[in-house]
Amino acid sequence: MSDPAAAELVVDARGLLCPLPVVKLGQAARSQPPGSVLLLLATDEQAEEDVRLWARGGGHAVLAVETEDEIIRITVKCAAAR
């Protein structure tokens, strides 16, 4: 299970539909230094695919994806500055 304490920032996007979870994650990532670990909480089933595409395009790394009680927990490490 993802450890919220390991994340520098938790982005709560529960109840939001595509594309808002990944939009909120992107906004949060821009406010963090490279190498930061973010935890996205989402309920939209599309969130995992959206985050993977966003991460691939921006050089970020998806560290873990877990679902528990209909909540999708996606842990992402922010890319180093380009």
Averaged confidence pLDDT in the chain: 92
pLDDT digits 0-9 by tens, 12-46: 999 999 999 999 999 999 999 999 999 999 999 99
- With respect to residue 82, please indicate whether it lies within any of the assigned structural domains: no
Widest CA span in the chain: 37
Instruction: Report the CATH number at residue 66.
Output: 3.30.110.40
Q: Which domain holds residue 72?
A: 4-77
Cβ atoms of residues 2 and 66 within 8 Å? yes
- With respect to residue 45, please indicate whether it lies within any of the assigned structural domains: yes
Cβ atoms of residues 43 and 12 within 8 Å? no
- With respect to residue 33, please indicate whether it lies within any of the assigned structural domains: yes
Number of domains in the chain: 1
* Band (59; pLDDT cuts 50, 70, 90): very high
Enumerate the active-site residues.
18
- With respect to residue 56, please indicate whether it lies within any of the assigned structural domains: yes
